C-alpha cells in the first residue's frame, strides 16, 4: 500500500496534521500504537485556556473526541494498536500490528510520537507504587482504577499540579507535593486550587527514598539547600502508598535517530530532538516533526505544530503555493503569540537555540 | 469532590463517566479474578490490589508498571503462554491466563 502522507502518532499533533492533509486531498495514513486515537488528550480532564480557535473551555478528552470524530468523517486511513518500528529508505514504514510485521510506503512523513516521562534517582525508586504522573492519569482518568490511598507528588510543573488535583477529585489524599526548586514551576491558578484543597506544597524539598518491601508503604522527604543537597536532620517520613513522578518529559525521538535526522540536545525542550525549523522541516527532506517530539510543550501548541508540519508536507507533495505559505505564516504567528507569555520563556529560549543552529 | 470507590474502581467521579466493558473472569497465577473486558490487564490487576507484575531477573526486585503507555517495558508478563506481553497496553479478555514471568 502506498500513501502520500504517513503520520506516526495519533495525538493532538498527529490528528491535526492528518485533518490538514485530508483537507488538501492528500492520501493520508495515521498510525498509532494505542487502541484508540487521542494520545494523552484522552486522560486530560482539565479545561484548556486560550482562544476559541484553540478549544478554550473544553476539557482535553473532549478535544480528543472532537478530533477523532472529524477524522472518522474524513478520508484519512487510521491504523491503531500498531507500532512503527522503523522508517526505511523511500519512506517505507515498518509496522508491528496484530502480531505481524507489515510495511507501508509514503511520499512524506510526519513524526508526532510525543514524549515519555523522565525518571528520578532515589533509593527504592523501582518499587511498585512509584509511577509516572501520566501513568496515574491513565489509570484513574481513562480506566477508572483507584490508584492508591495517599499519594506523594514530586514536581510542581503544570503536570504535577494538575494531576494532584485529579488525584483529589478521584478520592485520593495528597498530603504533600515536593518541589526541589525554591519556586512553584506551574501556573499559580493550579497551585492555588490544590493548596485550597489541603495539599501542602513544599518548595526546596525532594524525595530521599521510597519505603516498603514489595510495594510503596511510605516515603522519606527532606529539605534541600541552595546546591540542591538534602539538609541532614530535615528528613521526614510520610505515610503514602503512591509516589507520582512529575519531573518532566523527554521527546520520543527513537525513530528520528534511526532515520538519520540530525539530532540536537536542547535541555529547555526536554532533551534530544531532531533539528527543525519553524516550518517543522527536519534535515531529512520530506520528513517533518510536530508536537512533544519536536520539543516538550502542551496540546494547544502541538495541534498548531501539527498544522504547520502538514502544510509543509502538502507543499512538498503538491508544490508550494502562495495560499499554503500564507496559511502557514498565520499559524506560526499564532504559535509565537501563545509562546509570548512568561511561562513560555524557557521553551522560547530553547527554540531560539534550536533555530540558531544552522 | 465526591468520588466513590468500590473494589478498586472509581464508581462515581465528579467529571468523568467511565464506559466499561462487561465483567469478565481471568486468571492470575491460577487465582480467579474479575475485571472489565477491554481495559488493560495492568488496570484490572491494580484494581484487584496486585501491584507486583514481575520480579527482576538478577536481584528479584519487585516490578510494577511505570508509564502505563507502552514505553517503559516495566510491565512485561506472560499472557496465555506468550512471554513479554506489555500488560499496560494489552486488553483484558475473558479467561486470560496471566502470570509473572520467571527467568
List, for residues A56-69, the tens digit of each pLDDT value. Answer: 888 888 999 999 99
Across residues A338-354, what is the average pLDDT?
87
pLDDT at B15: 87
Q: Is residue B27 part of a domain?
A: yes
Q: Is residue B55 part of a domain?
A: yes
Across residues B43-72, what is the average pLDDT?
93
Kindly provide the ipTM of the predicted complex, given to two decimals: 0.95
Across residues A341-355, what is the average pLDDT?
86
**Which pTM does this prediction carry?**
0.91
Q: Is residue B15 part of a domain?
A: no
List, for residues A183-199, the tens digit of each pLDDT value. Answer: 999 989 999 999 999 99
Q: Which residues of A198-235 are buried (b: 16+ CB within 10 A; e: fewer)?
A: ebebbbbbbbbbbbbeebbebbbbbbbeeeeebeeeee
Q: Is residue B48 part of a domain?
A: yes
List chain B residues with CB under 8 Å of A45.
15-16
Copy the grid coordinates of residue A193: 486550587
CB A78 within 8 A of CB A10: yes
Beta carbons of A126 and B56 less than 8 Å apart? yes
Beta carbons of A169 and B1 less than 8 Å apart? yes
**What CATH number has the domain bearing residue B45?**
3.10.20.440
Domains along the sequence of chain A with CATH: 2-116+249-356 (3.50.50.60), 119-245 (3.50.50.60)
CB A107 within 8 A of CB A220: no
Beta carbons of A117 and B20 less than 8 Å apart? no
Q: Supply the range of the domain harboring residue B76.
A: 21-98
Task: Tell me if chain B has a CB within 8 Å of the CB of A45.
Answer: yes
Q: Is residue B30 part of a domain?
A: yes
Q: Is residue B2 part of a domain?
A: no
pLDDT at A43: 85
List, for residues B6-48, the tens digit of each pLDDT value. Answer: 999 999 999 888 999 999 999 999 999 999 999 999 999 999 9
pLDDT at B103 over 70: no
pLDDT at A248: 93
pLDDT-derived band of residue A221, with 50, 70 and 90 as boundaries? very high
Q: Is residue B69 part of a domain?
A: yes
Q: Is residue B63 part of a domain?
A: yes
pLDDT at B1: 63
pLDDT at B69: 86
Give the count of domains, chain B: 1
Amino acid at each position: 500500500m502506498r500513501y502520500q502522507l504517513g503520520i506516526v502518532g495519533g495525538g493532538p499533533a498527529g490528528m491535526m496534521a492528518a485533518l490538514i492533509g485530508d483537507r488538501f486531498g492528500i492520501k493520508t495514513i495515521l498510525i498509532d500504537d494505542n487502541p484508540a486515537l487521542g494520545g494523552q488528550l484522552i486522560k486530560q480532564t482539565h479545561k484548556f485556556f486560550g482562544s476559541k480557535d484553540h478549544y478554550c473551555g473544553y476539557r482535553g478528552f473532549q478535544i480528543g473526541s472532537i478530533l477523532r470524530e472529524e477524522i472518522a468523517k474524513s478520508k484519512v486511513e487510521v491504523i491503531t494498536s500498531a507500532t512503527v518500528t522503523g522508517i526505511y529508505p523511500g519512506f517505507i514504514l515498518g509496522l508491528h500490528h496484530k502480531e505481524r510485521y507489515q510495511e507501508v510506503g509514503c511520499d512524506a512523513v510526519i513524526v508526532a510520537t510525543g514524549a515519555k516521562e523522565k525518571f528520578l534517582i532515589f533509593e527504592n525508586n523501582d518499587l511498585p507504587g512509584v509511577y509516572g504522573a501520566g501513568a496515574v492519569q491513565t489509570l484513574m482518568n481513562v480506566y477508572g482504577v483507584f490508584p492508591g490511598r495517599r499519594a506523594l507528588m514530586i514536581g510542581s510543573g503544570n503536570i504535577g499540579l494538575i494531576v494532584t488535583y485529579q488525584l483529589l477529585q478521584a478520592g485520593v489524599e495528597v498530603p504533600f507535593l515536593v518541589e526541589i526548586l525554591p519556586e512553584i514551576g506551574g501556573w499559580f491558578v493550579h497551585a492555588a486550587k490544590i493548596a485550597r484543597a489541603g495539599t501542602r506544597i513544599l518548595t526546596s524539598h525532594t524525595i530521599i527514598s521510597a519505603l516498603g518491601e514489595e510495594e510503596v508503604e511510605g516515603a522519606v522527604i527532606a529539605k534541600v539547600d541552595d546546591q540542591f543537597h538534602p539538609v541532614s536532620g530535615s528528613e521526614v517520613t510520610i505515610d503514602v502508598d503512591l509516589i507520582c513522578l512529575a519531573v518532566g518529559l523527554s521527546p520520543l525521538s527513537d525513530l528520528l535517530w534511526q532515520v538519520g535526522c540530525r539530532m540536537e540536545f536542547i535541555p529547555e525542550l526536554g532533551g534530544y530532538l531532531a533539528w527543525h525549523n519553524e516550518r517543522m522541516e527536519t534535515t531529512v527532506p520530506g520528513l517533518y516533526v510536530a508536537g512533544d517530539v519536536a520539543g516538550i510543550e502542551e496540546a494547544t501548541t502541538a495541534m498548531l505544530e501539527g498544522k504547520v508540519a502538514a502544510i509543509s508536507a502538502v507543499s512538498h507533495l503538491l508544490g508550494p503555493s502562495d495560499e499554503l505559505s500564507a496559511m502557514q505564516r498565520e499559524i506560526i504567528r499564532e504559535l509565537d503569540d501563545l509562546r509570548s507569555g512568561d511561562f513560555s520563556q524557557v521553551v522560547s529560549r530553547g527554540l531560539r537555540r534550536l533555530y540558531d543552529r544552522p | 469532590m465526591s468520588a466513590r470507590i468500590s473494589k478498586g474502581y472509581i464508581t462515581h467521579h465528579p467529571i468523568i463517566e467511565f464506559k466499561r466493558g462487561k465483567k469478565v473472569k481471568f486468571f492470575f497465577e491460577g487465582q480467579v479474578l474479575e475485571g472489565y473486558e477491554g481495559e488493560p490487564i495492568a488496570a484490572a490487576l491494580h484494581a484487584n490490589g496486585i501491584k507486583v507484575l514481575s520480579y527482576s531477573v538478577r536481584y528479584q526486585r519487585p516490578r510494577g508498571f511505570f508509564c502505563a503507555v507502552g514505553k517503559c517495558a516495566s510491565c512485561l508478563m506472560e499472557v496465555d503462554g506468550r512471554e513479554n506481553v506489555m500488560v499496560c497496553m494489552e486488553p483484558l479478555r475473558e479467561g486470560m491466563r496471566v502470570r509473572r514471568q520467571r527467568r
